[in-house]
């Protein structure tokens, strides 16, 4: 389920971001060390030692981004002297102005984007070309450039300097709310990437997205050595999602194993690029993926392999991101920007967490349970085992009858939100207020949630309701999106200051959406979901965390390798990705599966079109279990408001405030261990 929201601080960082070495970064600045020292000493002399830290940080950060076109060294020195704000009450006043103006800017930018996309997102007139053009237009694109040019960015850096993740981790627990908010102001301008380079990055990502979006396999054209076909003639499977889901769905078929094996072989050929070009996105030929032979109506034809396009695409994303490195002196690599700046969890910490879970004894135990449930040895594609499906004791048809009657249209859903919120423990006042800040709109697609970014605006819940009314499946998805909207509303409307709005990162928003989704029956007014559902869900989540953590570890290794081999060719990259995929497999999966040297972890499309995003999924799983454990026996609404009004702290400190402990794999492992006692 797609979660759409503009988190402007992060969005800016993403848009205007890049990666390179610290030495290159220094070249952007036209200010010498002696000039920095001179003005720093002058300001300390003038304002005293109590302002020393702010002066040193502020002046050096202004210097990092100051270029010749901003003025000479003496202009720089004069700028710092004229604009440094020393007195507390003056700084508070400056903060107040920045807060109200940035809320105006981001709030309206968000609203413009939301409104310009109405034609694309909402049910209505047919989409024409101009709708796509308006939808693609970004009112954000020149903000950073403009704000360095008019020197507002320098004022922000000078007076509210940026604190690194390490500093936030060390100092943040003792910071007041005001100090946290000041630090968040300092997160706005961390790079100064020219618009042209931002455009190149955006182009490379768009091309990668298109490469994946047009990578379909026509399953009905897959044949075995006897020329037999196994899939419906018109079945078109997008890599890797539909291929994987087809493997999942075949668990329900008595003779599904042969089909799973065939799809798995297709995946291997995509990874090692031995796949014939002519079978990608085309149903012209038949293809035996085992012998790797292509046929035209039974007659073999010569076909050449895909020429490493998968790895060329990844390389071009890497090279585009790298161009901007020298304009990001604070986070000089894409890896830094993703983990230190966006997720705000160091890559080493994530690696340690994931490694702890994938190498745990629990993985072996769950693997053994799957083996006995399947009645056969594990196959590598059983990383996608789909048999822990939580089946509620409630009849789905009866539920659909109920939801269709209850929600004939979006307005009916809208008017029931406050009642649903009361059903999970919100008091009258909060239920009514939160419900009043959510608009339900008829979606063109499957739906999404889009939050507001200024208090005067509402969050939007987009949902698709058929003519017969909302079916149970649609209702379940709408509840997921509503979880996002409730989180978005609490973290904007109940926040003590605007710069602290939101949650630490996207994994946290997904967590709350899933917490709501799993209480869908409760929201409808039924009693709590049953125990069996809870145990199956624990095993299902553990197994999918185990699977995707390996994929995320591989994604991380690939980017580390790329930064160590900046001139790598596509062929070298391919070989290394396969080598590293096998390495991760042999370490953490071979002991459970009893099969070595598999490269399947390299199949994920995210690795190509959304690099380094994959780690967010398993983080979400972990956080969800820790929060669920804390919610046990408590009022969900009170706990939700308590945790969320912490706002955008860094994840580690937010979690300590929320559940009393930093991010950990223990809750997830414990829940799976508990479930293992009951599920056979």
Closest-CA residue to 421 (of 452, 461, 457, 382): 461
Select from 29-37, 40-48, 513-521, 596-604 the region that touches Zn ion (CB under 5 A): 513-521
Select from 187-195, 458-466, 508-516, 629-637 the region that touches Zn ion (CB under 5 A): 508-516
List phi, psi (to 5°) of 100: -70, -35
Q: Which residue is nearest to Zn ion (CB)?
A: 3
Angle, to 10 degrees, between the axis of helix 531-564 and the axis of helix 361-374? 120
Residue 194 token pair: 């020219």
Closer Cβ to Zn ion, 1 or 257, answer by number: 1
Q: How many residues bind Zn ion (CB under 5 A)?
A: 3
Map the footprint of Zn ion across residues 144-163, applying CB under 5 A.
none
The C-alpha angle with vertex 602 and arms to 596 and 606, in degrees rounded to 5, equals: 155
Closer Cβ to Zn ion, 422 or 484, answer by number: 484
Select from 10-18, 31-39, 511-519, 521-529 the region that touches Zn ion (CB under 5 A): 511-519
- Contact between 3 and Zn ion per CB under 5 A: yes
Q: d(Cα 49, Cα 28) in Å, to the nearest integer?
A: 30
Q: Which residue has the tokens 């009893």?
A: 594
Q: d(Cα 196, Cα 18) in Å, to the nearest integer?
A: 12
Nearest distance, CB of residue 513 and Zn ion, angstroms: 4
Q: How many residues would you count in the chain?
A: 680
Nearest distance, CB of residue 424 and Zn ion, angstroms: 18
Closer Cβ to Zn ion, 110 or 488, answer by number: 488
Select from 3-11, 109-117, 227-235, 550-558 the region that touches Zn ion (CB under 5 A): 3-11
User: Binder to Zn ion among 357, 482, 492, 513 (CB under 5 A)?
Assistant: 513
Residue 186 token pair: 């300092």
Nearest distance, CB of residue 51 and Zn ion, angstroms: 44
413 strand-pairing partners? none
Closer Cβ to Zn ion, 29 or 509, answer by number: 509
- Starting at the earlier edge strand, list the strands of the sheet with 293-296: 286-288, 293-296, 299-301
Rg of the chain over CA atoms, in angstroms? 27
Q: Cβ distance 217 to 266 under 8 Å?
A: yes
Closer Cβ to Zn ion, 513 or 552, answer by number: 513
Closer Cβ to Zn ion, 241 or 678, answer by number: 241
List phi, psi (to 5°) of 308: 60, 25
- Contact between 477 and Zn ion per CB under 5 A: no
Nearest distance, CB of residue 114 and Zn ion, angstroms: 17
Nearest distance, CB of residue 24 and Zn ion, angstroms: 38
Nearest distance, CB of residue 510 and Zn ion, angstroms: 5
SS3 content of the chain, % helix, strand, coil (to 5): 65, 5, 30
- Contact between 507 and Zn ion per CB under 5 A: no
Closer Cβ to Zn ion, 545 or 676, answer by number: 545
Map the footprint of Zn ion across residues 335-394, applying CB under 5 A.
none
CB count in 10 Å sphere of residue 677: 8
Angle, to 10 degrees, between the axis of helix 506-517 and the axis of helix 636-644? 170
Q: d(Cα 485, Cα 459) in Å, to the nearest integer?
A: 6
Helices (H), 272-395: 309-323, 334-336, 347-358, 361-374
Select from 30-38, 109-117, 320-328, 507-515 the region that touches Zn ion (CB under 5 A): 507-515
Nearest distance, CB of residue 182 and Zn ion, angstroms: 31
Nearest distance, CB of residue 144 and Zn ion, angstroms: 28
| Sequence-ordered list of residues with C-beta below 8 angstroms from that of 206, at least 6 positions apart, any chain | none
Closer Cβ to Zn ion, 577 or 622, answer by number: 622
Nearest distance, CB of residue 553 and Zn ion, angstroms: 23
Nearest distance, CB of residue 617 and Zn ion, angstroms: 11
List phi, psi (to 5°) of 461: -110, 115
Closer Cβ to Zn ion, 172 or 620, answer by number: 620
Closer Cβ to Zn ion, 47 or 613, answer by number: 613
- Contact between 1 and Zn ion per CB under 5 A: yes
Closer Cβ to Zn ion, 141 or 636, answer by number: 636
Site residues (vs Zn ion, CB under 5 A): 1, 3, 513
């Amino acid at each position: 389920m797609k979660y759409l929201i503009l988190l402007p601080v992060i969005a800016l960082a993403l848009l205007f971001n890049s990666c390179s070495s610290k030495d290159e970064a220094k070249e952007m600045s036209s200010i010498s060390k002696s000039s920095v020292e001179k003005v720093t000493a002058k300001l300390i002399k003038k304002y005293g030692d109590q302002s020393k830290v702010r002066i040193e940080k502020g002046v050096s950060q202004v210097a990092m981004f100051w270029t010749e076109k901003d003025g000479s060294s003496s202009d720089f020195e004069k700028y710092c002297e004229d604009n440094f704000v020393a007195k507390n009450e003056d700084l508070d006043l400056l903060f107040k102005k920045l807060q109200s103006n940035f809320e105006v800017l981001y709030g309206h930018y968000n609203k413009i984007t939301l409104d310009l996309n109405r034609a694309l997102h909402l049910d209505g007139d047919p989409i024409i070309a101009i709708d796509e053009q308006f939808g693609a237009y970004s009112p954000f694109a020149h903000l950073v450039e403009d704000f360095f040019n008019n020197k507002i960015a320098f004022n922000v850096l000078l007076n509210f300097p940026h604190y690194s993740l390490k500093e936030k981790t060390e100092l943040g627990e003792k910071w007041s709310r005001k100090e946290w908010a000041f630090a968040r102001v300092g997160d706005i301008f961390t790079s100064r990437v020219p618009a042209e380079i931002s455009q190149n990055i955006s182009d490379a990502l768009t091309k990668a997205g298109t490469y994946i979006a047009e990578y379909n396999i026509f399953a009905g054209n897959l044949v075995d050595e006897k020329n037999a076909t196994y899939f419906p003639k018109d079945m078109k499977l997008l890599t890797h999602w539909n291929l994987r889901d087809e493997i999942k769905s075949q668990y329900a078929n008595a003779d599904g194993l042969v089909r799973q094996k065939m799809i798995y072989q297709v995946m291997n050929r995509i990874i090692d690029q031995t796949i014939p070009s002519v079978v990608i996105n085309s149903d012209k030929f038949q293809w035996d993926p085992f012998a790797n032979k292509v046929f035209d109506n039974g007659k073999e034809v010569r076909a050449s392999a895909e020429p490493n396009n998968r790895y060329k695409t990844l390389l071009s994303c890497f090279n585009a991101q790298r161009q901007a490195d020298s304009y990001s002196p604070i986070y000089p690599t894409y890896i830094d920007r993703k983990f230190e700046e966006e997720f705000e969890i160091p890559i080493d910490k994530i690696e340690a967490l994931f490694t702890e879970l994938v190498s745990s004894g629990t993985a072996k135990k769950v693997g053994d349970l799957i083996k006995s449930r399947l009645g056969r040895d594990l196959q590598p594609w059983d990383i996608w085992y789909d048999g822990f499906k939580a089946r509620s004791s409630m009849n789905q048809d009866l539920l659909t009858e109920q939801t269709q009657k209850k929600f004939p249209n979006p307005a009916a859903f809208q008017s029931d939100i406050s009642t649903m919120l009361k059903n999970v423990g919100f008091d009258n006042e909060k239920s009514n207020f939160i419900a009043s800040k959510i608009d339900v709109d008829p979606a063109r697609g499957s739906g999404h949630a889009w939050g507001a970014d200024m208090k005067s605006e509402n969050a939007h819940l987009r949902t698709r309701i058929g003519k017969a009314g909302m079916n149970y499946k649609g209702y379940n998805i709408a509840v997921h999106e509503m979880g996002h909207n409730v989180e978005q509303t609490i973290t904007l409307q109940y926040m003590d200051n605007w710069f602290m709005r939101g949650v630490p990162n996207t994994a946290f928003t997904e967590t709350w959406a899933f917490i709501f989704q799993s209480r869908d029956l409760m929201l409808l007014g039924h009693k709590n979901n049953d125990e069996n559902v809870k145990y199956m869900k624990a095993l299902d989540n553990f197994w999918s965390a185990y699977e995707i953590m390996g994929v995320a570890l591989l994604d991380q290794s690939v980017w580390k390798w790329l930064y160590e081999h900046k001139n790598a060719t596509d062929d070298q990259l391919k070989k290394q990705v396969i080598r590293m995929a096998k390495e991760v497999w042999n370490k953490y999966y071979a002991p459970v599966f009893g099969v070595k040297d598999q490269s399947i972890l390299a199949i994920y499309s995210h690795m190509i079109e959304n690099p380094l995003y994959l780690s967010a999924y398993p983080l979400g799983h972990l956080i969800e279990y820790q929060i669920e454990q804390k919610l046990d026996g408590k009022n969900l609404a009170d706990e939700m408001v308590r945790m969320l009004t912490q706002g955008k702290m860094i994840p580690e400190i937010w979690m300590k405030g929320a559940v009393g402990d930093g991010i950990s794999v223990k809750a997830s492992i414990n829940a799976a261990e508990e479930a293992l006692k009951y599920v056979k």
